[in-house]
Structure 1
Amino acid sequence: MSALALAVRDSNTMLRRNLLHARRYPSLTLNLLLTPVMLLLLFVYVFGDVMSAGIGGGGADRADYIAYILPGILLMTIGSTVIGTAVSVSTDMSEGIVARFRTMAIHRGSVLVGHVVGSVLQCAMSAVLVGAVGLAIGFRSTDATALEWLAAFGLVVLFASALTWVAVGMGLVSPNAEAASNNAMPMILLPLLSSAFIPVETMPGWFRPIAEYQPFTPAIETLRGLLLGTGIGHNGWLALAWCLGLAALGYFWSTATFDRDPR
């Protein structure tokens, strides 16, 4: 069997292991899936009338705000989901199971790949669930073609992969699960400081650079353009660059840390 075939086989085994863990702890899985849905409903039905005043010169109704906010919630879903990945990786490292894996004849990278693929699948499930709830409460994307829907889903998967590799690195350098959760907290905070809920133009001047020059805003604007037919401009290239850059950074950081970790 070739080295590639062995890597694929072992990665598939580690993926099944992580999926079994998710099935054995349904409360955690449900929490990851339902939290973004609750956020969507909260911002639409509780804060929507107030926050929609910053859209379209203050003339946006609830349907307009649902259309505006859903892309942001979709990417915020990814940020909240990968925190669980950081915690899971840190738990594996601190409980000694990885030390046992090191003594076995398995591909070293398969341990990390299993976490990454499992996390991306969870992100995709959460995004599909949030999208379904959005459609149920009034989201419509009449201008988007099938190719644009496919591109939007591809962007969600690519963004999830990038953030997951970064989360894996955070989990590897954290001494315990609590520290991993705290270290990964920016994954949730950054969407709150982006264009997810209100346009960047309505923010104070001193705050706009913070919202503009971070990974979530161009990704959200690209997703919004694909689904709603608004202008994407340079955001598409910025989102792609952020995804590839974060994925490369997270991958090399994670593999280097995993290879030298004495635990």
Structure 2
Amino acid sequence: MTATAPAASPTTPRGRGGITQSITDSLVMAKRNLIRMVRIPEVVIFGLIQPIMFVVLFSYVFGGSIKVPGAGTDAGSYREFLMAGIFAQTVTFATAGAGAGIAEDMHKGLVDRFRSLPMTRGAVLTGRTIADLVQTALTLVVLAIVAALVGWAPHHGLLDALAGFGLLLLLGYAFTWIGALIGLSVRTPEAATSGGLIWLFPLTFISVAFVPSQNMPAFLQHVAEWNPFSATVVACRELFGNLPPGYPVPDAWPMQHPAWASLLWSVAIIVVFRTLAVRKYRSATG
């Protein structure tokens, strides 16, 4: 007599769909990385020191010698002009931390352990980038408080200010995927840190973050005005109300429509580099 398999009871758990499982696994990995950050608070503390130093140095050391077009003789105009650039620099420099963290997990063999678990492959990377986004948000809160102490303030209301910080966090999240790809492409965390910073300096300084593009040579003006970093900086200045009334806006499309340019650049970077990072992760652990 052939045995008949028992029918599944109504309480038998069903298999989760791909998207549901990916989201759940990513949140679990994000929680793991956040717990790790809490247990090693030095990482967060040292991550706060550098942007605070930039605020103080540029405000009080260089601020007196840099004039913002359209601001007249207002001594405090550069501080307000500067802060969006410092905020943007802070969120993009999280790239190095993301790359180093992923490289360290690869180097220690933790990724091989994750592979033995029933989780989606992209969850390891997505969880890491989400955790870095939370840390970046915390850093921005502290930095905004320090900026207010040296004379910065948003002038267009709470909603516009939140929209500006939202663009900053989106840019930071996009750049962490670049860091993830770098972390998967090198052999040591030290190399990931160096590789994550070396290209960020020209990206942030050949921009309108610290000086107006009108002060640059002609060929650098075009680079600065089409720089995705510049688009986010200018969008935040407009949303925060930190542009002087007479500030000459360049004719380049990203400078004329900085909020849209910032969104498009950030989404494009996420799509491209997330795809490349997940593909690299699968080939590196396959």
TM beyond 0.5: yes
- Find 1:212's aligned residue among 208, 225, 232: 225
Specify the alignment match of 1:98 in structure 2.
111
Specify the alignment match of 2:153 in structure 1.
140
Residue 223 of structure 1: how far off its partner (Å): 0.7
Point out the more displaced range, 248-257 or 224-233: 224-233
Matched, 1:18 2:33: yes
Q: Check conservation: 2:182, 2:196, Cα contact below 8 A.
A: yes
Residue 16 of structure 1: how far off its partner (Å): 1.7
Aligned partners of 1:77 and 1:211: how far apart in 2?
18
Aligned partners of 2:159 and 2:261: how far apart in 1?
20
Q: Secondary structure at the match of 1:56?
A: coil
- Find 1:87's aligned residue among 86, 100, 104: 100
Aligned partners of 2:205 and 2:90: how far apart in 1?
12
Match runs of 1:137-216 below 5 Å: 137-142=150-155, 144-185=156-197, 186-216=199-229
Query: Any idea what the Cα deviations from partners look like across 1:74-112, whole Å, max 9, x if unmatched?
Result: 000012222111100111112111011111112222111
Query: Any idea what the Cα deviations from partners look like across 1:177-203, whole Å, max 9, x if unmatched?
Result: 121112211234411221111111122
Specify the alignment match of 2:121 in structure 1.
108
Query: Any idea what the Cα deviations from partners look like across 1:147-180, whole Å, max 9, x if unmatched?
Result: 2122112211211111111111111111111211
Specify the alignment match of 1:249 in structure 2.
272
Between Structure 1 and Structure 2, the one with more helix by share is 1
Structure of higher CA gyration radius: 2
- Find 2:47's aligned residue among 16, 32, 35: 32
Alignment TM-score, normalising by the size of structure 2: 0.85
- Find 2:261's aligned residue among 225, 238, 254: 238
Residue 205 of structure 1: how far off its partner (Å): 2.1
Q: Secondary structure at the match of 1:184?
A: helix
RMSD value, Cα: 1.8
Residue 243 of structure 1: how far off its partner (Å): 0.6
Specify the alignment match of 1:56 in structure 2.
70
Matched, 1:45 2:60: yes
Q: Secondary structure at the match of 1:47?
A: helix
**Paired amino acid for 2:222:** P
Specify the alignment match of 2:282 in structure 1.
259
Count of aligned pairs between the two proteins: 260
Aligned partners of 1:47 and 1:29: how far apart in 2?
27
Aligned partners of 1:55 and 1:46: how far apart in 2?
19
Specify the alignment match of 1:123 in structure 2.
136
Residue 57 of structure 1: how far off its partner (Å): 6.4
Alignment TM-score, normalising by the size of structure 1: 0.92
Q: Check conservation: 1:89, 1:171, Cα contact below 8 A.
A: yes
Specify the alignment match of 2:91 in structure 1.
78
Aligned partners of 2:95 and 2:46: how far apart in 1?
13
Q: Check conservation: 1:152, 1:223, Cα contact below 8 A.
A: yes
**Paired amino acid for 2:281:** F
Q: Check conservation: 2:129, 2:173, Cα contact below 8 A.
A: yes
Aligned partners of 1:115 and 1:240: how far apart in 2?
22
Query: Any idea what the Cα deviations from partners look like across 1:98-128, whole Å, max 9, x if unmatched?
Result: 0111111122221111111011111111111
Aligned partners of 1:217 and 1:205: how far apart in 2?
16
